Amino acid sequence: MGEVTERDLSMAGVSRRVAIKHIDPDRCIRCGVCTLSCPNDVIRMRRGKPTIVYWQDCSQCFACVIDCPREAVSLGWVTVETP
Amino acid sequence: MKSSSGSMDAERIQSDILVIGGGIAGCFAAIRAAESGMKVTLLDKGHLGRSGTSYQMSGVLTCFDPERDDQDAWYRECVETGDWINDQDCLAGMIHETAERVRELEGWGVEFQKERGRFIRRPGVGHVHARNILMTKGGFQLQSALRGEVLRRGVQVCERMMATDLLVSSEDGRRIVGALGFNIRTGRFLICESGAVVLATGAARAIWTGMRLPMLSGDGNAMAFRAGCDMRNREFAGYYEVPVDFDGIGPGSNILFGEGAVLLNERGERFMEKWDPIRLERANRVSRFMAIAAEVEGGRGPVYLDATGLDEGVFQRIEKVLPIPMMCLKAAGLDLRSDRIRWSYTLADHSPGGIRANRHGETSLPGLFVAGDASDHGTSGTCNIITHGMVSAIEGDRAGRIVPHVVAEARREQVDRGMTETLMAAVLEPMKRTAGLDPETVRRHCMDIWPLLGPRKNEARLKAAITAAREIRDNQIPLLRAADYHGLSHCIGLANALHLIELYARCALERTESRGAHFREEYPQRDDHGWLRWLIVRKKGERMDEMTMRTESIPFERYPLSPQPQGDRP
């Protein structure tokens, strides 16, 4: 986790939290179950592929991870620039 | 998705009973109501079985054992922990009903941790006599099972559906006869006309980080308030101790304290010794978050949860009962066995306080019922002994039993069709704007109110909080712009959650004493002579910020137990 504090991050104009991070294209079979499971509507099908659209709304419920038949979804630290 | 200004095309459903919200309360209400033979429709904003606090909760449920437990001792513990604000009409019978609900869940296949055929029982935080039992895989298993039971009974389930307005009878202007909603993916409106509505929309947790569930924006509370429903105990909205960097760990994580995890300040001191030298971290929630707040405000933060001294057997048990928090920590590269976790507190707003309900879940509006965290959880007083999940299950069950009788006896009234057109147009406003404010930006402005709403309150900070909330409501909410229907759900949800912040501050200003989680610097003592009363709030006039407040004395003359008065004499 490191010694970086929230204050350091916000001063640098970034925000960091644990959220959905990656859907592994090599493992994903495009079944779309994650788009059904996510209670926060984070994942949508785009051009036939499950796509992380609203990552900021991830509440780390892990429904996508648990329900994925191929362990293709992972959560981790996501860092973004704050407006 | 291409931006559009939205369509007023609506699907219409007719049902006997409409349940809004598919967590533990909504599912129990729908199950029970469907067993009467009536047609039940359930709306869920996400995915039934994965939505809400119920899905993310730990596996803990308080459960009474008639062979081992003393009902009177449990009862007294409930009212003393609740600082006597408990609605004892609601509490009556509830302790025994915990065992009934567990028997039912087991019958539906929910697995509990057992040893030699008996439930493994542990004291929860704040428990002296009361005991919790443990579901394996927590809310994940629970809500999956409940989804099955709801569907098996032929309940019509509409998912990704956000309810925006309660529909009022065109005949008497008061009776609730259904709800309007829209699909947050397709944008298609739904008008559901029903004999009664059960609100099970949960707490309002869409704004504050630490336990943020974006979908839980207090929609039911806001809709009910707008329709003129009474709210009660709103000043006692609950704080919750949570880790700093996560939203998914909070629900139920306080069982870590029950298992022996300790809290340390920045100096490595076990500061709970100052607050509750006997129970330490096993003190009730109010003591814990007041302690954390004091350490942080006193410059001795950050505060850490330290479970590194616990046995491997404890971690095995925690893995079963808190699967999601454990996955969360692992994703962050943390392990409770070796890492101290930065801890803080947030305004969880999931008990107590909310829509006023009697023991059957009836509200002050005919045709409107409530169960779960959207209710005022009158049973719990200022702080619950029976876990929220279990209270919500019982409230759902009770509402589901009574609603069919009410619907059977009531004349079905019509929805005003012209009114629904007006409501739909209002819902779509944020999508019609070509420029405006992004909901995430406005949410951050709402978060700036946080320092004014800490556990130690005073008049100046509360008034400043009200002013800040009003500024956002009057100047920013009307400028919200939604790029799509997902964004639209956030625009509406933000307005709903902001309203509850203002309501909370207004009620906290009104109660001039300290009790439970409600602490006023100017009135630091409990005042039973003046304040063994419930604060009831209702909208007055057209605007959400115009409200009347009244107090009701708690009818102890009817109750089994009443307190020895404490505090200042007038």
Q: How far is B331 from chain A (nearest CA, A)?
A: 5
**CA nearest B494: which of B467, B473, B470?**
B473
Beta bridge partners of A22: A74
| Interatomic CA distance for residues B308 and B336, integer angstroms | 6
pLDDT tens-digit map of A2-26:
344 545 555 555 677 889 999 999 9
Within an 8 Å CB–CB cutoff, is residue A33 touching chain B?
Answer: no
| Interatomic CA distance for residues B322 and B48, integer angstroms | 20
B151 has a pLDDT exceeding 50: yes
pLDDT tens-digit map of A25-69:
999 999 999 999 999 999 999 999 999 999 989 999 999 999 999
**CA nearest A34: which of A14, A54, A12?**
A54
| Interatomic CA distance for residues B254 and B148, integer angstroms | 29
* Cβ contact B320:B137 at 8 Å: yes
Instruction: For residues B258-285, give the mean pLDDT.
Output: 91
Q: Residue B298: is it exposed, middle or buried by C-beta count within 10 angstroms (0-12/13-18/19+)?
A: exposed
B541 has a pLDDT exceeding 90: no
Radius of gyration of chain A (CA): 14
**Which residues in B lie closer than 8 A to residue A77 (C-beta atoms)?**
332-333
pLDDT tens-digit map of B367-392:
999 999 999 999 999 988 999 999 99
* Cβ contact B185:B159 at 8 Å: no
Full 3-state SS string of chain A = CCCCCHHHHHHCCEEEEEEEEEECCCCCCCCCHHHHHCCCCCEEEECCEEEECCHHHCCCCCHHHHHCCCCCEEEEEEEEECC
For residue B543, which amino acid is it?
A: R
Instruction: For residues B60-67, give the mean pLDDT.
Output: 95
Q: Which chain B residue shows the shortest CA-CA distance from A78?
A: B332
B565 has a pLDDT exceeding 80: no
Residues 6+ apart with CB under 8 A from B523: B512, B513, B514
For residue A36, which amino acid is it?
A: L
Which of A1-15, B74-88, B199-213 ranks highest by mean pLDDT? B74-88
Instruction: For residues B118-123, give the mean pLDDT.
Output: 92
DSSP state of B235: G
* Cβ contact B106:B81 at 8 Å: no
Are B247 and A41 within 8 A, CB to CB? no
* Cβ contact B430:B436 at 8 Å: yes
* Cβ contact B90:B359 at 8 Å: yes
B83: left (phi over 0), alpha (psi -120 to 50) or beta: left
Within an 8 Å CB–CB cutoff, is residue A56 touching chain B?
Answer: yes
| Interatomic CA distance for residues B431 and B28, integer angstroms | 35
Q: How far is A82 from chain B (nearest CA, A)?
A: 10
pTM over 0.90: yes
Are A60 and B212 within 8 A, CB to CB? no
Distance, C-alpha B262 to centroid of its chain:
26
Phi, psi for residue B204 in degrees, rounded to 5: -105, 105
B528: left (phi over 0), alpha (psi -120 to 50) or beta: alpha
* Contact residues, chain B to chain A, C-beta under 8 Å: 45-47, 50-52, 55-56, 140, 160, 184-185, 209, 212-215, 244-249, 323-324, 327-328, 331-334, 339, 440-441, 486, 489
B86 has a pLDDT exceeding 80: yes
Cα–Cα separations (whole angstroms), residue B455 to A9, B236, B291, B371, B528: 26, 10, 10, 26, 20
**CA nearest B343: which of B278, B408, B272, B277?**
B272
